[in-house]
Every structure is written in C-alpha cells, then in structure tokens.
Amino acid sequence: MSVLFIIVAAIFLLGPLIAIHEFGHYWVARKLGVKVLVYSIGFGPTVLKWTSKKSNIQYQISALPLGGYVKMLDEREGNVSAEDLPYAFNRQSPWKRIAIVAAGPLINLIFAIFLFWILFLPAQEQLNTRVGKILPNTPAATVQMQQGDKIIAIDGTQTATWEKLNYALVDRVGETGHIDVQVDRNGQIKTFALPIQAFLKDQTQSPFDVLGFVPYRPHIAAVVYDLSSDGAAIRQGMKKGDEIIAIDQVKMKDWFDVVDVVQKSPEKLLNIDVLRQGQVVHLQVMPQGQRDNMGKVTGMLGVQAQSGKANIPAEYKQTIQYNPAEAFVVAVEKTGQLSGMILNSMVKMVRGLIGLDNLSGPITIAKVAGQSAEMGWQTFISFMALMSVSLGILNLLPIPMLDGGHLVYYFIEVLRGKPVSEQIQLVGLKIGMVLLGSMMLLAIFNDFMRL
C-alpha cells in the first residue's frame, strides 16, 4: 500500500465528514437568518475559492484537511453595519445559537446513521455466535464453557451477532471483576461468570482471545501453498508443499494454530518440524516483526495457505436480513451504542483504566483509511461511519474551543438570563487550547511510536 494511496483514502474519508459537519452549522445558520461569510473545508492557506453571486458567500478549500469552519457575521470579529446587525450571530437568541452550534455534531451522527443504514440493507450471511473453540488456560476454559455453546447475552445485553458481542465486551474495557456470559447449550440456558483483571487495558488484544472463546474457524490444513520471496521461512529452507506438524514440540492441528503461534513470536527463534515427502525436516525460523496500525508487533513467516471457499457447517451460520425500516432502527441503535462506547472509553481513560497510548492521531487514521479502502467499499463505509460518530461525540465534549464548550456557555446564558463574561470565555479559550493541543500532541506522538 503506497503513501499516495493512504493520502487519497484519508482525503476521501475526512473530506466528506468535515464538509458534512460544517454544512450542519452553515445550513441551520442560514435557515435562522444569520449571515454566513465563509464556508471553508480545511484550515491554513486557501487552495481553491469562489464566491456565490447570489448569496455573496465565499466557499473555499484550504491546505490542511484536518477540520474546517463557517465564518458568520459577528460584532466580536469586526465592524458590522447597522442594517446587518439583525443578521449577526452574536445578536441571535441563545436558543438560535445553540441550534447553530449543535447542528455540526448532530449532522455527523445523522450521517453515521445513514451510512450504517446502507450497510444493513443487503442480506448478510455470517457466523452465528456459536463458540468454535475454547482456548486452554483462559477464563472460558476455567468456568467450563464448551465448543458449540451459543452465546446469547453478555451482562444481560442480547448479542445476536459477533459484532454486538464484541461491542458488549469492549464496554467492559479496563474493568476488574467478572463478565456474565449467557449461553444456549443444546436448548438449556446457562450463565458463566468469567473473571477479568484490568480487562483489555492493552487494546491491541482481542477480547475473544483474552476470555478464551473464539468463533468457528474452518479447518485449513497447515500445508505451505506459497512463500514470500523475502520472507523468513524461505530463507531458512521451507518449501512449497511442506506440512507444518509442530512448533517448539507443540503439535499444530491446522493452519490457524500455526498463525496463532507465529503471530505471538516476533523476532523469536522457533523450532519448526515440517513433513516433506514423508520425511520430518527440522527447521529453525525467526518470524519477522511487523507493526500494525495500533503499534502491536506480530510475527510473520512469509508463508501462505491454499485459499478457497470455506465449507462452514449449517449450525454455525445465520442470514441477517432487514427491511428498510428495520435497517434504520438497527442503524440508530448501532450509532447510539458506538456513542456510548466512545464516551465510556474517554471516562475510563481519564480514570486511568485505559492507557493514554490508545489515543490515535491523523497518521493512524490515514493508515486505517487506506487499509479499509483496500478491503472494499463496505469496510471503508463502515470506518467512515465510525469516524463520523467519533467526530460528532468529540465535538460535543464540554471543552472550550469545541462546539460542546460553546453550548455550555449558551445554556448558562439561558439559565442566568445574560451571557457569560468575555473574561471567563477568554480563560476558557486558553484552557481549551492547552487541553486540545496536549491531546493532539500526545496522539501524534502515539502515531510515531506505532510507526
């Protein structure tokens, strides 16, 4: 994946989200009679601009696509002629200003609902929540969950899909105690209390691997079908057709066992036994470390199994089909669930239950955008919806400089009957600049550490 592809994917991701956000402010302001002067996508030097002859509004695209703004007529930002005073933003009632400011984040949430609605319309054949495997020495194994158990609820929340199940688990991130897992075992309902300790504080881990139950995985023989020309395996003598039968004297049942061991062993010398033409050959191979978008280093051998359509047993499959009305309801529910999860994660980060190293900046976002674009339009649209929810929730936080900070001032004005003093707003602005600047620097620092 080239740097150019990543940049283009990031522009196609962030551009529409920024434009939609600013359009919310712009549209409501005009509907409420406020004069708009500039509608800008991006900050910094102007790359392209034009002025509408009808409205005299300047539309522009600026060099830094990390935000945007709508400049409205305002006495605090310059002289306003007497005939234009009724159209100045600062002359509007608090409720009108609240509507204008809230419109940006809210339209991001509405846009996310629309994107999810599109994704939920087609019929989807997917794995149901029947457990495919219980990992040894894990909480699930300890409480005697079994392969074939169908998980129906987490902590009382119904989980019809693995995605919903995953969200319910992520909601417990950073916590210590136990997670209640309700399963259907051959028609009998059983509940298991899985112990957790600082659950998923390291968010590079999978909640399924940590708890010890994983979805069904089709059997794929541990036979090398192809090798990368610059991979670790080919350099140490591995060949096409080799069957990997053991690693460090642990028997490999299928390809997924090999992947699990190798990925957990970056830059670690492994003793690999392969079956080649009926003879056992002993190899020593050190998987190369590869860093993902979140900075997690995993091992890579440079080998590939034979691909093909997986034959999944009927008891592990389900078809999800919604009509347009049902898809809309599910889209609203998912947007609400993601909003709650983001807020919950922020609170836990402040409490220290989640590490600050989980903050991501523009570099990580751009890399994930490129990755999701490579995986197909549905994955890209899903990531765009997630980012739209994140943008909406972030801007609603009660931090000066953000839309949420302005909303706090205007609600105080409604209660007091007079505006918050300019001096207090100036102090708040400085505090907001420090908070947001610190968060951005930390996020960018995390991005570089992940590189």
CA atoms within 13 A on the CB side of 138: 17
Query: Is the CB of residue 112 less than 8 Å from the CB of residue 385?
Result: yes
Is 43 in contact with 69 (CB distance < 8 Å)? yes
Angle, helices 162-170 vs 324-351, to 10°: value is 20
Phi, psi of 69 (to 5 degrees): -160, 155
The span from the CA of 428 to the CA of 398, in Å, is 11
Is 22 among the catalytic positions? yes
What is the C-alpha separation between 419 and 398, in angstroms, rounded? Answer: 17
Q: What share of the chain is helix, strand, coil (3-state, %, to 5)?
A: 45, 25, 30
Q: What is the spatial distance between Cα 12 and Cα 372, in angstroms, rounded to a whole number? A: 12
Token couple for 193:
């209390």
Under a CB-based contact definition with an 8 Å cutoff, are residues 326 and 332 in contact? no
The CA-CA-CA angle for residues 421, 426, 427, to 5°, reads: 100
| DSSP, residue by residue, 312-334 | --GGGEEEE---HHHHHHHHHHH
Question: CB neighbours of 334 closer than 8 A, spacing ≥ 6?
Answer: 116
- Which is catalytic among the residues 22, 83, 125, 413? 22
Distance CA 411, CA 332 (A): 27
Residues 322-325: contacts with CB under 8 Å, at least 24 apart: 322/120, 322/121, 324/117, 324/121
- For residue 417, which of 22, 94, 77, 24 has the smallest C-alpha distance? 94
Which residues are tagged catalytic?
Answer: 22
